[in-house]
Structures are given as structure tokens and as C-alpha cells.
Structure 1
Amino acid sequence: MKLLPVAAGILILALSACSAAEGASATPSTSPDLLEYSAPPQTAYEKAADLLDDQAQAMLDGNEQKWLAAIDPGKPALVAQYRAMFESLHTLGVANFGYRQKNLRSKPSSPKIEMATTIEYCMSACGLGSVDPPTPSVHQYVTVETVAGQQRITAMRVEQSKDNLDPVPWEEKDLVVRSGKRVIVAGPHSEASNLDKVLAAAEQAATLNDRFAAIEENPQTRYRVYVADAKAWKRWFGKAGTNGAVGYAYNIGGPDTEVVLRMDELRRSKQDLISVVKHEMGHVVTLSDLNTQNDDDMWLSEGVAEYIGEYPKAATQSLRMAVVRASGKRLTTIAQPALADDASIVAANVYYGFSHLAVDCMAKTYGEKKLFDFVKVKMREGFSYDDASRKVYGKPFKTVDKTCVARIRNQV
């Protein structure tokens, strides 16, 4: 019984507390201010990466002053090199440009930042990054330091490798450029006197190749032809120039394929120059913007380029025919296996001659339009020879092969 008052007292106390709370005015509590986030200061590497991104945007904006602002003004030779790159790329018609990789080669907080950079670019409309086919890329080793309170590029060298494009012509300091209606021609100062002659031949070749490009559904915005002296021939595009060749078409990536001419072998004959330019530009319209190229298609690729290079002459009028006939080779199939990399000049002439005869046979037998449709379906769309032949010619490839082998044997 004595516990009741205690219990009642507790209850009353609780009620009294409630009553007091009900009668009191509520006083809002104040919470402490939220802490504002403060990002850590950028490292020297992060600032250098931003510097390169801003410089790339200046290239796309056509802002030469901002492009050069990234360079140490106390290094006049370096400034001249970057000015030449800017002018060359814009004259060549650069469509996209960016530093896609900036691999650090020093401590991120070091006052002297060294980076192995990968520049992705293209001369036709394209995206950068993970695209298919991959865009062209070059590699430069860049040093960035603080100069007068600002980060600047203080050194740059081109990273050369047999497996890469470096050096590309626009990385050279002495590139001279000529622009025509359909073609851009460029070369070192040593070849400046030949550029107008090459441009005239290339403009003529563009008219012909544009017609075939329409059939291939591969129209070209502009053609680019680089005129190499002996030194550039051995350097450009990862040392792609070989001793036995006088020109090549190089698919550098994305939609871009570049033509390179070995001018010391072509300046003596105007007709040789015209034929080689047409031939290599023929590769541009048939092979550019492809994901893969098959060595088994070499006879067709070179045959159609020969057809364009010698156009409108028949294959039997080609200068290679004398070598073909002298070889004594008896053709068993027009689909010759790929020419060996170490093949002799004579063997190459025989191979190109027979390839030209094969393509010429298909043009004469089934029509030129169907020939280029066959090239498109086989090389650009990836059909087998038999499927492409049935689709375009309405016959199995073995029938086409047999017909053309018989024709070529009679011609040779």
C-alpha cells in the first residue's frame, strides 16, 4: 500500500511535466552551419593536363594565339615548331584534334611535368576515343614547367616507332602546302618547286576518282597528297616508304587515307607522275574507311588501282605487259595470292600486270559499273568472292575466274 503514493507521485510528476511543456512556447533549436567542401589544390600534373586540353580546343577554334600561349615564349625554336604545326593542320583541313592520353612520366607534384601524350586527329568528320575504325593518332613526349608564374610547354619531341604513324608530315617544321579545288598537296621546302605540278596532276586524277568513289559509296571531302624528298620518304608514317616503290596510299585511321609520292623517282616523267597519282588515289576511294583489309584481296585492290591509273587505256597497253609476257608465267586463277613483302621489282611488275588484266577482263566482260560494284561488295562490304560474284555478276566466281583466265592467256 505504501507503494501507491510513489507510483502516483511518479505519474503526477510526469503529468506536471507534460502540462508545463504544453504551456511553454516552443523555441526552435539552431543547427550548426553545414561545412563547405573545399577541393584540394590541383597538382602540377592536373594543371598540365588542363593546359593541353585548352590548347587542343584552340586548335579546333582556329585560335593560333591561344594555341601558342601554351608554349614557353623563351623557346623561339619551339614556338616556331608549334606555329608550323598549327598552320599545317589548318591548311590540311583538320576536322578534329585532341590529346586523348597524357601518361605521366614524372611525379604528379613535380615542378617539371613530363608526359607521353597521344594526339588523336582526323582530316574528315570523325569522333575521337573508342570509335571504329580507330582514328589516326601520333605520339609526342611533352615537358611542362612553370614559366613566369604560368605553366608552359618547354620541350616536345616526336615519339617515333615502326608500329605508329610518327612522324606525320604536319609534325615537320618545313612543310609547304598548296590547295586546289579537290586536292591538297604538301611537301618539304626541298620539293616546293614540284608542288604545283603535282597539284595539277592530282586535280585531274580527282575528277576521275570522284566518279568511281560515287559507285563505291565512298565520296571524299578532299584528297591529300604528300610529296616526299628522299629523307621524308624514309621517315613519314612510321617509315612506310620502301625502296622499290614510287608511291603509296596509307590508311592512317578513321576515314582518312593519305597518298605519299617519292618525287625523286617521278620528276623525270610527267606520264609516270599522272599514272601513279591516279593509281594511289584509286586506293583512297576503294580502301579508305575500312575496318580491316584482307591480303587475299591484294590482286583485286592493286588491279583496280592499275585500272584507274592507266585509264582509259586497256591493260594490254600498259608498260608492264612487256615484263608480263617475258615472265612466261601461265595464270591459273585471277585471284593470285598476295605478293611477298620481299618480292623483286620484276615480280611486282608481273603481279600488278596480271592483276590489271584480271580487272580489265571483268570490266570488258560485265561492264565497268558492275566491276566497281563487285569491288564494293567484296572489299568494302566483306562478302566472299563467290557471294559477291553471284550478287553482282549473277554467276559463281569460278565461272568469272575461268572466263578471265582464258581471256588473259590469249592476250599474253
Structure 2
Amino acid sequence: MERRTSRMVRFPIMDELPPRKKPLAPVAGLVAAVLAATAVGFWPDSSEPATATPAASASAPAPVPPSSAPVASTFDQVQTLVDAQNEALLSGDEAGWLAPVDKKLRPRYRTIFRNLRALDLTAADMGIDGELKQKGATLITRVGLTYCFSGTVCPAYRLDPTDGAPKMINTLTWTPRDGSWVITKMAASGVPNYLQPAPWENTALTIAQGKRVIVAGPKSQGANVRRILPLAEKAAAVADRYAAKLNNPQTRYRIYLADDKAWKSWYARPSPPWSIAYHLTLNRIGSDIVVRAGKVMPEGNRYITEVIQHELGHAVTLNGNRNTDEKKDQWLVEGVAEYIGNQPAKLQNTYSRDALRYVQSRGRTAKTIALPPVTGKSDDLAVTRLYANGHFAVGCMAAKYGETKMLDFVAMVLHEGVDIDAASQIHYGKPFKTVDKACVKWIKSQI
């Protein structure tokens, strides 16, 4: 995460997971990358904005002045329509939600409504972001929708999309019709927002709810959504145990299965060819996990479970953190996610051991457990080494000092942003260089 400035642009934490079937698998690229994503609008099926012509349509009930009246006098009228939509969304009133929307835009709005309701939306707020602009007989303004799921505490509405609750923003055109205003066009807001387009914005999702996990995907992933839910529920039970130990309970986990089209478009992120899954924090208000179905689902259940459990490991170790620069501790971010993701397997029975043996055979044995972050220019071996060595490093600290102290160390570094040496002296009673030297030796003895 970047440090905050007066013109805040938040860089999302995206914890990428490369393939791990064998050491030679292509895994080069930016791992646990801190990426800046620009906002894009949602278009239902093309790159052009959804536009409707002012044909006859149902109208919202609020009266408005003639279109020739000053724009300022219409602000409250439009805000009233927006407020009514928000209330309809929260109460489950689909007709109310669609009331001020032109019929050609209704499929788009209906998709948003049904997806959000099925994803366990529990808080939402809509507002006009900025001034109303008059263009002929129409009004144009940005409208934002903040949202929270599954009982998560949702901050008050804020204009800055990088602060407070996660937010969707679009520029809407309002056309006067039958004494009211009707939304006849939706376009990109022009405001940088790494959380757009969210999976629920642009696709009618197939959604399955379990006790602890919600799994969703496009229609093409319907069978996979049902297949993955029980595996995800078991993985969530493991993640919940670690969330309790870290005093970082999660309300509910969301996993999106992306087909090839969705993988390229969700969250405005071009995906590197090696990536198979990622965890993305939502303005520190929970997170989403996205899995590349075509790369993960053809594998066996054990592989699928490891991938999901790894990403849930990120959720319980990173969600809600106050660390502004955990990228520098990438070895620990990925190491503890691998540690959680591979439970209950013993360290020596995991992919990481084979990977480190391969790294060793190539003369790239790590001389420290605190490896520097990988970058977009890192080779396959560097990425493999970071994950596998980080996994064994966390395992070493658990073996030597106990899992409780290891997790306390993780929480202090990743959540609070405390330097690794200070955290080591507090929880291990030793300088980090002593821990580092001991674990390098320990790892060599284990592989």
C-alpha cells in the first residue's frame, strides 16, 4: 500500500498465486504485486457505454421543475431518486430499484441488484459525487454506491473511492420524462478506482452460499461453483482457526470463479499469463478472492483446496491491517499464506520442499529467509524460491519458537508495520539476524 496524500490514490494489495504443480512451472512475474488500477466504466457487452433513447417508460414518482429551470434547483430532486433507489436495494425491492431507469438499461441494473442481494449485501449508500451539469434538456452527474457484505461494519459514505467502504462510481445521464427524471445513459466516471469493474457489476452470476463462504461465477462456471463450495468450506474452517489465533475474525469469505473473459476484465487488471488466483483487499473493508477457473478447476481437489486455502490465508493475515508497506515483507506475506494454505500437511510433504531442492540444484539457495520482493523482471527461479523459502521460514519460526509466537510476530509485522528486528526481539527475544541465521541452517537440514 502507498502512503496516503491529500490526493489519495490507493494501490490495491493483490497477492498473486503462481502455479505450483512442479518446480519448472512458469511462475515468473510480479507476485504479491502492489498495482495501481485506473477506473473503467461498465459496459454490458461491448466497449461502448450503455445508452438508451428517451422512449416511453415507467417513471419515478418525484415531481421536478421544467428542464429550463436552474440546475441547482433539481439537485435535491435527483438525490431523492438516488436515495429511493438505495432504500429499494437494501429492502429487496427490485421494482423500486428499477423505477428511475430507462427500459434499455434495466437489464444492467437488474444484474447489479440480483448479484448484490445474493452476495449477502448488508449495507449500502448512494450519493451524488459532485455537481449536476446541464446538457440541453438532460442532467449529467456522477453517482456513487458504497457497499459492504455479510454484516461487515461499513463506514459512512465518502467521496474518495480509496477511503472508507468500497465504492462503485458511474456517470449517469438523466432525461426529463413524464414529470420526473429517468436514467438514460451510464458511462465511466473518470475517477481512478481500482475496484471497478467488480465481478458483480458486469455479469449475471451463479451464486452458492455456504456457512462461511460464498462462491460465485459466470453462467459458464455454474457446475464449478457447486463443486468448489464444499472444498472452500473446509478451507475456511482452517482459515478461521488462524483468524482466531491472530485475533482477526472474518465475517464471511467471497470467492469468484473467473472464466477467461472475466479474468481479463474484473477489477480492471490485465492478468499475467502465469497467475492462477489472487486476493484483493477492498479498501481494508474485507476482501475478494478471484480464482482463474480454467487453470485451477481441471486439477484435483487437493490442488484446488490448497489454492483456496492459500488465498484465505491472505485474508486472515492481511485484512484490516494498518501496515502501509507490507510489500517489503513479501517473503512473510507469502510464507505465512503457504503455511496456512498447506495445513494440515507436514512441511516436508509439500510442494515447497521439492521446489527448494530444485532451487538448490540450480545454485540459488537462499542465504536469508528475508528475501527481497520479486518484481515483474524476476525469473521463474526467483519467484519459486520466494514462495517455497518463505513457507519454510515460517515453518522454522513455528518449530523453534512455537506457533503462537510466530503468529504474534506475523501480526506485528504485517498488521502493525513494525520492523522485523523489533518484532523479533519482542516475540522471540532475539535479534532478527540471529533468527535468520538459525532458520537458514534449519531449512538446509530439512530439504
The TM-score with structure 1 as length reference comes to 0.83
Residues 338 and 161 from structure 1, CA distance in 2 versus in 1: closer, same or farther, beyond 3 angstroms?
farther
* Equivalent position of 2:157 in the other structure: 129
* Equivalent position of 1:384 in the other structure: 419
Contact 1:104/1:113 (8 A) holds in 2:
no
1:83 offset after TM fit, Å?
1.5
1:258-277 to structure 2, matched below 5 A, reads 258-269=288-299, 270-277=301-308
1:270-306 deviations in whole A, cap 9, x for unaligned?
2211100000010001101124342111110100000
Contact 2:82/2:127 (8 A) holds in 1:
no
CA distance in 2, matches of 1:197, 1:346: 33
Contact 1:71/1:153 (8 A) holds in 2:
yes
Unpaired segments of 5 or more residues in structure 2? 1-69
Instruction: Answer yes or no: is 1:107 the counterpart of 2:139.
Output: no
SS in 2 for 1:174: coil
Name whichever of 340-349 and 99-108 sits farther off: 99-108
1:286 alignment partner AA? T
SS in 1 for 2:282: strand
From 182, 191, 201, the equivalent of 1:152 is 182
Residues 193 and 135 from structure 1, CA distance in 2 versus in 1: closer, same or farther, beyond 3 angstroms?
same
Contact 2:279/2:314 (8 A) holds in 1:
yes
CA RMSD of superposed structures (Å): 2.4
1:360 offset after TM fit, Å?
0.7
* Equivalent position of 1:319 in the other structure: 351
1:233 offset after TM fit, Å?
0.8
Contact 2:128/2:141 (8 A) holds in 1:
no
Q: Work out which of the two has the higher radius of gyration on C-alpha atoms and give 1 or 2.
A: 1
* Equivalent position of 2:369 in the other structure: 334
1:346-357 to structure 2, matched below 5 A, reads 346-357=381-392
From 141, 144, 150, the equivalent of 1:118 is 144
Instruction: Answer yes or no: is 1:43 the counterpart of 2:73.
Output: yes
Contact 2:213/2:254 (8 A) holds in 1:
yes
Contact 1:145/1:154 (8 A) holds in 2:
yes
1:343-378 deviations in whole A, cap 9, x for unaligned?
344432221011101011111111122211111121
1:390 offset after TM fit, Å?
2.1
SS in 1 for 2:248: coil
* Equivalent position of 1:88 in the other structure: 115
1:321 offset after TM fit, Å?
3.1
CA distance in 2, matches of 1:288, 1:262: 22
1:107 offset after TM fit, Å?
1.8
Residues 371 and 160 from structure 1, CA distance in 2 versus in 1: closer, same or farther, beyond 3 angstroms?
farther
1:79-111 deviations in whole A, cap 9, x for unaligned?
122122111112112232223443347328x53
Instruction: Answer yes or no: is 1:401 the counterpart of 2:436.
Output: yes
- Runs (4+) off by over 4 Å: 130-133, 158-163
SS in 2 for 1:244: coil
CA distance in 2, matches of 1:104, 1:342: 44
Larger % of helix: which? 1
From 321, 333, 342, the equivalent of 1:290 is 321
From 263, 279, 295, the equivalent of 1:233 is 263
1:381 offset after TM fit, Å?
2.2
Instruction: Answer yes or no: is 1:306 the counterpart of 2:338.
Output: yes
Contact 2:220/2:259 (8 A) holds in 1:
yes
* Aligned length, in residue pairs: 370
1:20-51 deviations in whole A, cap 9, x for unaligned?
xxxxxxxxxxxxxxxxxxxx996344422332
Contact 2:352/2:392 (8 A) holds in 1:
no
Residues 160 and 339 from structure 1, CA distance in 2 versus in 1: closer, same or farther, beyond 3 angstroms?
farther
What is the identity percentage for the equivalent residue pairs of Structure 1 and Structure 2? 36
CA distance in 2, matches of 1:161, 1:149: 31
2:412 alignment partner AA? V
SS in 1 for 2:121: coil
From 235, 238, 241, the equivalent of 1:205 is 235
Contact 2:307/2:341 (8 A) holds in 1:
yes
* Equivalent position of 2:168 in the other structure: 138
CA distance in 1, matches of 2:378, 2:76: 51
CA distance in 1, matches of 2:292, 2:122: 27
* Equivalent position of 2:14 in the other structure: none
1:314 offset after TM fit, Å?
2.9
CA distance in 1, matches of 2:410, 2:221: 35
* Equivalent position of 2:67 in the other structure: none
2:439 alignment partner AA? C
1:178 offset after TM fit, Å?
0.7
Contact 2:126/2:144 (8 A) holds in 1:
yes
Residues 403 and 285 from structure 1, CA distance in 2 versus in 1: closer, same or farther, beyond 3 angstroms?
same
Instruction: Answer yes or no: is 1:175 the counterpart of 2:216.
Output: no
CA distance in 1, matches of 2:242, 2:228: 21
Contact 1:44/1:113 (8 A) holds in 2:
no
Residues 330 and 156 from structure 1, CA distance in 2 versus in 1: closer, same or farther, beyond 3 angstroms?
same
Contact 1:160/1:166 (8 A) holds in 2:
no
